[in-house]
Structure 1
Amino acid sequence: MLDLLGIVAVTTMVLSYALERKHSLFILIFAVACATAAFYAYLIGSIPFLVAEGIWSIIAFHRYWKTH
Protein backbone atom coordinates (compact mmCIF):
# COMPACT_ATOMS: atom_id res chain seq x y z
CA MET A 1 0.00 0.00 0.00
CA LEU A 2 2.84 2.36 0.82
CA ASP A 3 4.46 1.70 -2.55
CA LEU A 4 1.20 2.64 -4.25
CA LEU A 5 1.33 6.07 -2.59
CA GLY A 6 4.80 6.66 -4.02
CA ILE A 7 3.83 5.44 -7.48
CA VAL A 8 0.72 7.64 -7.60
CA ALA A 9 2.62 10.69 -6.32
CA VAL A 10 5.47 10.39 -8.81
CA THR A 11 3.18 9.56 -11.74
CA THR A 12 1.02 12.57 -10.92
CA MET A 13 4.13 14.74 -10.69
CA VAL A 14 5.34 13.69 -14.14
CA LEU A 15 1.96 14.09 -15.83
CA SER A 16 1.14 17.44 -14.22
CA TYR A 17 4.62 18.77 -14.98
CA ALA A 18 4.14 17.85 -18.63
CA LEU A 19 0.79 19.67 -18.69
CA GLU A 20 1.78 22.83 -16.78
CA ARG A 21 1.67 25.02 -19.86
CA LYS A 22 -1.90 23.96 -20.67
CA HIS A 23 -3.41 25.42 -17.48
CA SER A 24 -2.10 26.86 -14.23
CA LEU A 25 -4.14 24.31 -12.27
CA PHE A 26 -1.55 21.72 -13.28
CA ILE A 27 1.07 23.74 -11.38
CA LEU A 28 -1.02 23.35 -8.23
CA ILE A 29 -1.50 19.63 -8.94
CA PHE A 30 2.27 19.33 -9.36
CA ALA A 31 2.84 21.10 -6.03
CA VAL A 32 0.44 18.79 -4.20
CA ALA A 33 2.01 15.74 -5.86
CA CYS A 34 5.47 16.91 -4.76
CA ALA A 35 4.21 17.36 -1.21
CA THR A 36 2.72 13.87 -1.34
CA ALA A 37 6.02 12.47 -2.61
CA ALA A 38 7.79 14.26 0.24
CA PHE A 39 5.38 12.68 2.71
CA TYR A 40 6.06 9.29 1.12
CA ALA A 41 9.80 9.91 1.47
CA TYR A 42 9.28 10.70 5.14
CA LEU A 43 7.32 7.48 5.63
CA ILE A 44 10.07 5.35 4.06
CA GLY A 45 12.85 7.26 5.84
CA SER A 46 14.49 8.76 2.75
CA ILE A 47 15.71 12.14 3.97
CA PRO A 48 17.40 13.25 0.70
CA PHE A 49 14.21 12.51 -1.26
CA LEU A 50 12.16 14.28 1.42
CA VAL A 51 14.31 17.41 1.13
CA ALA A 52 14.31 17.41 -2.68
CA GLU A 53 10.56 16.91 -3.00
CA GLY A 54 9.87 19.39 -0.23
CA ILE A 55 11.86 22.04 -2.08
CA TRP A 56 10.07 21.24 -5.36
CA SER A 57 6.75 21.54 -3.58
CA ILE A 58 7.59 24.96 -2.15
CA ILE A 59 8.80 26.20 -5.55
CA ALA A 60 5.67 24.91 -7.29
CA PHE A 61 3.30 26.43 -4.70
CA HIS A 62 5.14 29.74 -5.11
CA ARG A 63 4.83 29.52 -8.90
CA TYR A 64 1.11 28.80 -8.62
CA TRP A 65 0.64 31.70 -6.19
CA LYS A 66 2.41 34.06 -8.64
CA THR A 67 0.00 33.07 -11.43
CA HIS A 68 -3.03 34.05 -9.34
Structure 2
Amino acid sequence: MDLLTAFGLFAVIVMLICYMLEARSPWWTLGFAAGCALGSAYGFLQGAWPFGLVEGIWALVALKKWWSIRLKQEPTG
Protein backbone atom coordinates (compact mmCIF):
# COMPACT_ATOMS: atom_id res chain seq x y z
CA MET A 1 0.00 0.00 0.00
CA ASP A 2 1.45 3.33 -1.01
CA LEU A 3 1.18 6.55 1.00
CA LEU A 4 -1.63 8.02 -1.11
CA THR A 5 -3.77 4.89 -0.70
CA ALA A 6 -3.14 4.91 3.06
CA PHE A 7 -4.23 8.56 3.16
CA GLY A 8 -7.45 7.71 1.31
CA LEU A 9 -8.12 4.80 3.66
CA PHE A 10 -7.57 7.08 6.66
CA ALA A 11 -10.00 9.66 5.22
CA VAL A 12 -12.73 7.07 4.70
CA ILE A 13 -12.24 5.61 8.18
CA VAL A 14 -12.53 9.08 9.73
CA MET A 15 -15.71 9.70 7.74
CA LEU A 16 -17.23 6.37 8.79
CA ILE A 17 -16.46 6.74 12.50
CA CYS A 18 -17.67 10.33 12.63
CA TYR A 19 -20.85 9.47 10.71
CA MET A 20 -21.63 6.65 13.12
CA LEU A 21 -21.16 8.91 16.15
CA GLU A 22 -22.77 12.03 14.69
CA ALA A 23 -25.89 11.85 16.90
CA ARG A 24 -23.78 12.03 20.08
CA SER A 25 -22.30 15.49 19.61
CA PRO A 26 -22.05 18.26 17.02
CA TRP A 27 -18.28 17.81 17.14
CA TRP A 28 -18.69 14.46 15.36
CA THR A 29 -20.50 16.33 12.58
CA LEU A 30 -17.53 18.66 12.33
CA GLY A 31 -15.24 15.62 12.27
CA PHE A 32 -17.34 14.18 9.44
CA ALA A 33 -16.89 17.43 7.52
CA ALA A 34 -13.13 17.19 8.06
CA GLY A 35 -13.15 13.56 6.89
CA CYS A 36 -15.02 14.59 3.75
CA ALA A 37 -12.45 17.33 3.13
CA LEU A 38 -9.68 14.75 3.48
CA GLY A 39 -11.56 12.48 1.08
CA SER A 40 -11.85 15.37 -1.35
CA ALA A 41 -8.11 16.01 -1.16
CA TYR A 42 -7.49 12.32 -1.77
CA GLY A 43 -9.76 12.34 -4.83
CA PHE A 44 -7.97 15.29 -6.38
CA LEU A 45 -4.52 13.91 -5.52
CA GLN A 46 -5.24 10.59 -7.16
CA GLY A 47 -6.66 12.25 -10.25
CA ALA A 48 -10.32 11.36 -9.72
CA TRP A 49 -11.59 14.94 -9.79
CA PRO A 50 -15.33 14.00 -9.85
CA PHE A 51 -14.83 12.13 -6.55
CA GLY A 52 -12.86 15.04 -5.14
CA LEU A 53 -15.56 17.49 -6.19
CA VAL A 54 -18.42 15.46 -4.67
CA GLU A 55 -16.52 14.91 -1.42
CA GLY A 56 -15.81 18.64 -1.27
CA ILE A 57 -19.53 19.35 -1.61
CA TRP A 58 -20.27 16.81 1.15
CA ALA A 59 -17.74 18.60 3.35
CA LEU A 60 -19.54 21.91 2.82
CA VAL A 61 -22.94 20.32 3.51
CA ALA A 62 -21.65 18.75 6.74
CA LEU A 63 -20.02 22.03 7.78
CA LYS A 64 -23.32 23.85 7.23
CA LYS A 65 -25.12 21.19 9.26
CA TRP A 66 -22.60 21.56 12.09
CA TRP A 67 -22.97 25.35 12.03
CA SER A 68 -26.77 25.20 12.21
CA ILE A 69 -26.63 22.68 15.09
CA ARG A 70 -24.26 24.96 16.98
CA LEU A 71 -26.54 27.98 16.45
CA LYS A 72 -29.53 26.04 17.80
CA GLN A 73 -27.56 25.10 20.92
CA GLU A 74 -26.49 28.67 21.77
CA PRO A 75 -28.45 30.08 24.69
CA THR A 76 -30.56 33.09 23.87
CA GLY A 77 -30.51 35.91 26.30
Shorter-chain TM-score bucket reads over 0.9
How large is the Cα RMSD of the aligned pairs? 0.6
Rounded Cα–Cα distance in structure 1 between residues aligned with 2:14 and 2:38:
10
1:65 alignment counterpart: 67
Q: Rg: which structure is higher?
A: 2
Rounded Cα–Cα distance in structure 1 between residues aligned with 2:21 and 2:62:
13
1:28 Cα shift?
0.3
5+ long unaligned stretches in structure 1: none
Aligned residue type for 2:12: V
Aligned residue type for 2:39: A
Please report the TM-score for the alignment, with normalisation by the length of structure 2: 0.85
Please report the TM-score for the alignment, with normalisation by the length of structure 1: 0.96
1:59 Cα shift?
0.2
1:8 alignment counterpart: 10
5+ long unaligned stretches in structure 2: 71-77
What fraction of aligned residue pairs are identical, expressed as a percent? 35
Aligned residue type for 2:43: A
1:21 alignment counterpart: 23
2:49 alignment counterpart: 47
Deviation per residue, 1:36-67 (Å, 9 max, x gap): 11001110010110111011000000001111
